C-alpha cells in the first residue's frame, strides 16, 4: 500500500514537472512571437510559483534563474535591433517580478520547513511523553458560552458532548483503560465522566470565560474497565489560538497517591485508636487492682460476720443467708476482675491443659450481662467427655470472646426475639472444632478478607481482632475460618488439635 502511494506521488511530480516546463516554453513562445506590447514575461512568475509545490528551495531558485534567462533571451530575439525603450522597461518589470517572486517563495518555503520541523518535534514529544496528553477542539463550547458570565448545567453538558479530541498520545489512552490512542481521537470524554468530572468541567469553563489560559483542577473519571481514576488536569490554551479551537490538556494519574493518603490517614486513626485502647487497658488493670482490695475486705468481713452470727444469734437464718450471698457475689466479682487482669496482662503464652467445656461456660458468664442487655439468646451444644487441649487458656478465651462479641454485633439489626447465637463444640478425630454462628445478615465480602490486618466492616472497628485471633489459633497448631450458613447468618469456626496430637505435631 505504501509502495503504491509512493509510485503515485512520483508520477504526479513528473506530470507537474512536465507541465511546468511546457508552461515556461509556452510563455517564451508567446513573448517572442506575440505582437502584444505587454509585459508577457511577467507570466514567468507562475512557473516559479508552480515549482514551490515541490518544497525544494534549490529547484525554485533554479526555476527563477532560468525564467529570467528566458525573459532576457526573448527580449533580444524580439527587440535586438531596437533602441532602449518601452520593451526594455517591460523586461525590467518582468525581471523584478521574477526575482521578487523567487525570493519570496524561497523565504516562504524556509518558513514552512521551519514550521514542519517544529511540528514534527512537537509531535515526537507529544507521542513519546510518558504522561497523558490530548488536544481538544472546544470551539463549539466557545460559541455556546460567548457573552455568558458563567456556564449553567445545560451549557456544561453540551460543552462536554462537543469538546472533540483531535489528537492523543498512548499514555492518554492507557489513562482511560484503552489499548489504542485511536479509540480516543474523534470522540469526547463524556463516557468517562462522573459527577465530580462534570463539576470540574464547570470550573474549567468558568476560568476560561474569565480569560485564564492555564487552569489546574483535580477530578475523578471512570475508565473503560469501570475503575475510578483520580486525575490532576492541566488545561492550556496555546498562544494565537482563538475561540478555543486548540485546547491542550495534560493529565497526571494521582489515584495511587490518593489511595496512599487515605491508607495513611486510616493507619494514623487506627494507631490513635490502638493507643487509646492501650491506655484504657492500663486504666482497667489499675482499676481492677484497686477494686480487688475492697472486694477481698468485703468477703473477709462477710465471713467474719457469719461466724459472729453463728455464735451470737444462730437462729438468724435470713441474715446468715444474706451474708452467704455477699460472700458468693463478692467471690464471683473477684474472679471476674482476676480474669480481666489476666486478659490485660502481657504474659508469655502458656502450655497448660485446657478444659474446653469450662472455658466456654466461663466466657459466656463473662459476657452474660452484655448478651442480656442486647437480648441475645445463647444456645450451647457440647458433647460429654471432650478430650483435653493444650495451650494458653487466656489466649483461647480471648479468641472465643472475640468471636462471640462479633456474633452479637452482627445481630444488631435483627429483631430482638430472633437474636440467637449458637456455640457448637464438635469432637473430631485428633481435634476439636468450635463453631460460633449468629443469625445476622451474613458476610457480604470475601470471607478470607475479614482476617486481613486493619480490614473491618464496622464503622468503629479497628480491623485487628480476627487477624490476632487467627495468629493465636495458628500458633496453637489449629485453623480459623469463616463462611455463610445456608440457613442465614455467618459461622466462624476454629479447630485445635487435642493434647496427644499437639504433642505429636510438636
SS3 for 389-447 is EEECHHHHHHHHHHHHHHHHHHCCCCCHHHCEEEEEEEEECCEEEEEEECCCCCCCCCH
Considering the domain architecture, whether residues 147 and 287 belong to the same structural domain is answered as no
The domain that holds 190 is classified in CATH as 3.30.450.20
Looking at the fold, whether 226 and 321 belong to one and the same domain comes out as no
Look at residues 133, 153, 158, 156 and name the one whose alpha carbon lies nearest to residue 231. Answer: 133
pLDDT at 233: 93
Q: Does any domain span residue 445?
A: yes
Cα 373 from chain centre: 43
Looking up residue 278, the CATH number of its domain turns out to be 1.10.287.130
Same domain, 38 and 67: yes
Quick check: is 259 in a domain?
no
Residue 187: closest CA among 166, 214, 204, 158: 166
Q: Per-residue pLDDT tens, the chain, 506 aa: give them.
A: 556 767 777 777 777 778 888 877 887 777 777 666 556 777 778 888 888 887 777 888 888 888 888 888 877 777 666 656 677 777 788 888 888 888 888 888 888 777 777 677 766 666 666 778 888 899 888 888 887 888 888 888 888 898 899 888 888 888 899 988 889 888 899 999 999 998 999 999 999 888 888 999 999 999 999 999 999 999 998 887 778 888 989 999 999 999 998 888 877 776 766 666 666 666 766 777 677 778 788 888 788 887 887 777 777 778 778 878 788 777 777 776 765 666 555 555 667 788 888 888 888 888 888 888 888 888 988 888 888 888 888 788 888 888 888 888 888 888 888 888 999 998 888 889 999 999 888 887 877 777 776 656 665 555 567 777 888 888 888 888 888 888 888 899 999 888 654 444 44
State whether 304 and 174 are in the same domain.
Answer: no
Residues 195 and 178 in one domain: yes
Q: Is residue 414, in this structure, part of any structural domain at all?
A: yes
258 in any annotated domain = no
Shared domain check, 401 and 493: yes
Residue 420's φ and ψ, nearest 5 degrees, are: -125, 125
Give how far Cα 375 sits from Cα of 83, 371, 408, Å: 129, 6, 9
pLDDT score for 506 = 45
Burial degree of 335 (CB within 10 A; 0-12, 13-18, 19+): middle
Q: Give the model's pLDDT for residue 221.
A: 94
- Are 349 and 395 within 8 A, CB to CB? yes
Global confidence as pTM? 0.48
- Which pLDDT score, from 0 to 100, does residue 222 have? 93
Domains contained in the chain, number:
4
Residue 261 belongs to a domain: no
Q: Which of 337, 332, 352, 451 is nearest to 395 (CA)?
A: 352
Residues in the chain: 506
Pair 422, 337 in one domain: no
Q: Are residues 108 and 137 in the same domain?
A: no
Distance CA 346, CA 333 (A): 22
Same domain, 143 and 179: yes
User: How far, in Å, CA of 413 to CA of 415, rounded?
Assistant: 7
User: Does residue 320 fall inside a structural domain?
Assistant: yes
Query: What is the span of the domain harbouring residue 421?
Result: 352-505
User: In this structure, are 357 and 500 located in the same domain?
Assistant: yes
Residue 114 domain flag: yes
For residue 38, give Cα distances in angstroms to 28, 43, 64, 87.
13, 11, 20, 9
Would you say residue 16 lies in a domain? yes
Among 108, 128, 148, which residue terminates a domain? 128
Amino acid at each position: 500500500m505504501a509502495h503504491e502511494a509512493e509510485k503515485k506521488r512520483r508520477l504526479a511530480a513528473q506530470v507537474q514537472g512536465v507541465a511546468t516546463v511546457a508552461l515556461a516554453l509556452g510563455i517564451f513562445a508567446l513573448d517572442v512571437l506575440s505582437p502584444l506590447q505587454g509585459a508577457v514575461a511577467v507570466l514567468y512568475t507562475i512557473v516559479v510559483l508552480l515549482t514551490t509545490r515541490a518544497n525544494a528551495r534549490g529547484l525554485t531558485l533554479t526555476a527563477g534563474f532560468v525564467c529570467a534567462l528566458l525573459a532576457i533571451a526573448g527580449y533580444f530575439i524580439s527587440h535586438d535591433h531596437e533602441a532602449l525603450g518601452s520593451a526594455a522597461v517591460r523586461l525590467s518589470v518582468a525581471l523584478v517580478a521574477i526575482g521578487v517572486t523567487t525570493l519570496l517563495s524561497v523565504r516562504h518555503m524556509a518558513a514552512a520547513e521551519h514550521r514542519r520541523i517544529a511540528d514534527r518535534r512537537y509531535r515526537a514529544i507529544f507521542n513519546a511523553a510518558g504522561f497523558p496528553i490530548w488536544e481538544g477542539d472546544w470551539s463549539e463550547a466557545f460559541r455556546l458560552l460567548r457573552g455568558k458570565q458563567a456556564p449553567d448545567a445545560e451549557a456544561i453538558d453540551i460543552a462536554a458532548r462537543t469538546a472533540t479530541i483531535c489528537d492523543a498520545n498512548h499514555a492518554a489512552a492507557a489513562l482511560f483503560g484503552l489499548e489504542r490512542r485511536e479509540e480516543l481521537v474523534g470522540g469526547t470524554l463524556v463516557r468517562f465522566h462522573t459527577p465530580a468530572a462534570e463539576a470540574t468541567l464547570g470550573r474549567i469553563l468558568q476560568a476560561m470565560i474569565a480569560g485564564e489560559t492555564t487552569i489546574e483542577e483535580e477530578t475523578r473519571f471512570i475508565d473503560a474497565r469501570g475503575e475510578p481514576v483520580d486525575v490532576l488536569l492541566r488545561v492550556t490554551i496555546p498562544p494565537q489560538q482563538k475561540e478555543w479551537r486548540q485546547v491542550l490538556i495534560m493529565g497526571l494519574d494521582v489515584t495511587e497517591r490518593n489511595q496512599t493518603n487515605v491508607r495513611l490517614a486510616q493507619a494514623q486513626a487506627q494507631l490513635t485508636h490502638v493507643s487509646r485502647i492501650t491506655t484504657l487497658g492500663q486504666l482497667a488493670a489499675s482499676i481492677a487492682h484497686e477494686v480487688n482490695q475492697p472486694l477481698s475486705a468485703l468477703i473477709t468481713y462477710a465471713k467474719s460476720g457469719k461466724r459472729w452470727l453463728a455464735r451470737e444469734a444462730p437462729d438468724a437464718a435470713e441474715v446468715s443467708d444474706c451474708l452467704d450471698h455477699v460472700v458468693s457475689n463478692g467471690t464471683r466479682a473477684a474472679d471476674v476482675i482476676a480474669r480481666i487482669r489476666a486478659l490485660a496482662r502481657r504474659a508469655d503464652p502458656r502450655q497448660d491443659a485446657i478444659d474446653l467445656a469450662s472455658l466456654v461456660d466461663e466466657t459466656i458468664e463473662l459476657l452474660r450481662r452484655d448478651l442480656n442487655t442486647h437480648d441475645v439468646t445463647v444456645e450451647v451444644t457440647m458433647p460429654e467427655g471432650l478430650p483435653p487441649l493444650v495451650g494458653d487458656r487466656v489466649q483461647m478465651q480471648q479468641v472465643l470472646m472475640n468471636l462471640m462479641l462479633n456474633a452479637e454485633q452482627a445481630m444488631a439489626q435483627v429483631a430482638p426475639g430472633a437474636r440467637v447465637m449458637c456455640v457448637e463444640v464438635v469432637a473430631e478425630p485428633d481435634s476439636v472444632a468450635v463453631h460460633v454462628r449468629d443469625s445476622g445478615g451474613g458476610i457480604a465480602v470475601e470471607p478470607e478478607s475479614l482476617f486481613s490486618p486493619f480490614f473491618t466492616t464496622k464503622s468503629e472497628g479497628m480491623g485487628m481482632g480476627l487477624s490476632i485471633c487467627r495468629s493465636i489459633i495458628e500458633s496453637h497448631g489449629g485453623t480459623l475460618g469463616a463462611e455463610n450458613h445456608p440457613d442465614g447468618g455467618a459461622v466462624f469456626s476454629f479447630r485445635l488439635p487435642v493434647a496427644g496430637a499437639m504433642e505429636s505435631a510438636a
